[in-house]
Amino acid sequence: MAQLKLGRGKVAHAGSLPLNIAKDIVKNKYLYIMLSPVLAYFIIFQYFPMYGAIIAFKDFNPRLGIGGSAWAGLEHFKDFFGGMYFWRVFKNTLMISFYDLVFGFPAPLILALLLNEVKNALFKRSVQTITYLPHFISLVIIAGMIKDFTSSDGVINDIIAFFGGERVTMLLEPSYFRTIFVSSNIWQHVGWGTIIYLAALSAIDQEQYEACKIDGGGRWKQMLHVTLPGLLPVFVILLILDIGRIMSVGFEKVILLYNPTTYVTADVISSYVYRIGLQDFQFSFSSAVGLFNSVINFALVIGSNWISRKLNNTGLW
């Protein structure tokens, strides 16, 4: 946290005294040099391509280029909103994101808190390593494992059958899809997600714990009154960032796990667009959908940041 505070202080400084920027550059030239690739990355790969978003309003033809393609107005947006499956994919996208946020988002925080209480270093590290592992496995393999686990002769069904239940091929049940999707997401990312919390935990002032102990606080009270408030800023920032991704459920995992039986709960905006894009190279249509998603995401980020600032005075900016 110390670094973060320092960073914020600097920004405020430079902002209020523009004359000092040049001086600052000279003084911290190595820091600026280190910053420059990142800046360049964002300008080249994140900001510059935004110009390309105008193909959402054009009939883009690669040979004619962005400038040369004919204007199509809002035609692609009309096609998308007017499509038979618009409401279904829109709803599914929101539902999956929502479940992921409710169940998936707090999971790393809980794991980090639990790990924080573990005093045996060897055990702690083993748990960390094991929980990080799924994060590094390719999604295709993860999906293959999920298919194996959920198949009618898979591990999960073995357990169900052991307790006298009936075997079902879970990926053929529309009502199971979201549960499978979200719980496997948690399994994949919970370990990785703890890293940032553990980093924030290490920055909490030890004196606060001592003060709490002197006041008679036990472990539970310490967690409630020292640890959690210490983690709150990180938690809120991550939450805002996650809310900003609500409309973008990646298509990769969905298309690896769904099939026409589960379209009714599994088909999301990105997978639907993927199917359209695959048949014909409809760059413009895909861009229109992408733009629509981005606008909603952007509004959500602004909105949640505003709420967060109102409520507890922390936010992204």
Partner 1 sequence: MANHRNSKKRKWQLILGITMVLSLLLTACSGNGGSGNKDKAEPTQSAVSNTDGNGESKGNEGEEKPVYPMDTKDTFSYWAPINGNLITFATNLAEAPIGKEIAKATGVKVTYIHPTDGQAEEQFNLLLASTKLPDVLEYDWSIYPGGPEKAIADGVIVPLNDLIDQYAPNLKKMLEADPELDKMVKTDSGQYYAFPMVRNSEGVVFRGPMLRKDWLDELGLQLPVTVDDWHTVLTAFKEKKGAVAPLTAQYAGKMNLQDAFFGAYKTSHGFYIDDEGKVKYGPLDPQYKDVITLFRKWYSEGLIDKDFPIIERNTLDKRLLNGESGATVYLLGGGMGKWLESGKAQNPTFDLVAAPYPVLNAGEKPFTGQRDFKYNPKASAAVTTSAKNLETIVKWLDYSFSEQGTLTYNFGVEGESYTMDNGVPKFTDMIVKNDKYTSQQMLAQYTIPNGPFPMHEQKSTNTFPQQDEAVKIWSETDAAKHILPAFITPTVDESKKVAQSMTAINTYLEEMFIKFIMGNEPIDKFDGFVKQLEDMGIRDVIDIYQGALDRYNNR
Which one of residues 21, 259, 303, 307 is an interface residue with partner 1 (CB under 8 A)?
Answer: 259
CB closer to partner 1, 123 vs 306? 123
| 3-class DSSP string for 130-155 | HHHHHHHCCHHHHHHHHHHHHCCCCH
Tokens standing for residue 131: 């929980």
The footprint of partner 1 on this chain (CB under 8 A) covers a number of residues equal to 37
230, 200 Cβ separation under 8 angstroms: yes
Per-residue binding string, partner 1, 170-199, x by CB under 8 A, is: -xx----------------------x--xx
CB closer to partner 1, 153 vs 215? 153
Q: In whole angstroms, what is the distance from residue 87 CA to residue 90 CA?
A: 5
Which one of residues 127, 145, 152, 213 is an interface residue with partner 1 (CB under 8 A)?
Answer: 152
Chain positions 51 to 110 lying near partner 1, rule: CB under 8 A, are: 61-63, 79, 83-85
The residue range among 8-16, 213-221, 278-286, 307-315 that interacts with partner 1, by the rule CB under 8 A, is 278-286
Which one of residues 30, 51, 260, 317 is an interface residue with partner 1 (CB under 8 A)?
Answer: 260
Amino acid symbol at 70: A
If one asks whether residue 41 binds partner 1 (CB under 8 A), the answer comes out as: yes
Helical segments of the chain, H only:
2-16, 20-27, 29-41, 65-68, 75-82, 86-99, 106-117, 121-132, 139-150, 155-162, 177-202, 206-214, 219-222, 228-243, 251-257, 263-266, 269-279, 283-312
CB closer to partner 1, 84 vs 214? 84
CB closer to partner 1, 151 vs 179? 151
Chain positions 193 to 232 lying near partner 1, rule: CB under 8 A, are: 195, 198-199, 201-203
DSSP category for residue 103? I
Q: In whole angstroms, what is the distance from residue 305 CA to residue 236 CA?
A: 9
Q: In whole angstroms, what is the distance from residue 12 CA to residue 40 CA?
A: 23
Interface with partner 1 by CB under 8 A: which residues?
34, 37-38, 41, 61-63, 79, 83-85, 147, 151-152, 169, 171-172, 195, 198-199, 201-203, 259-261, 263-264, 267, 272, 275-276, 279-282, 285
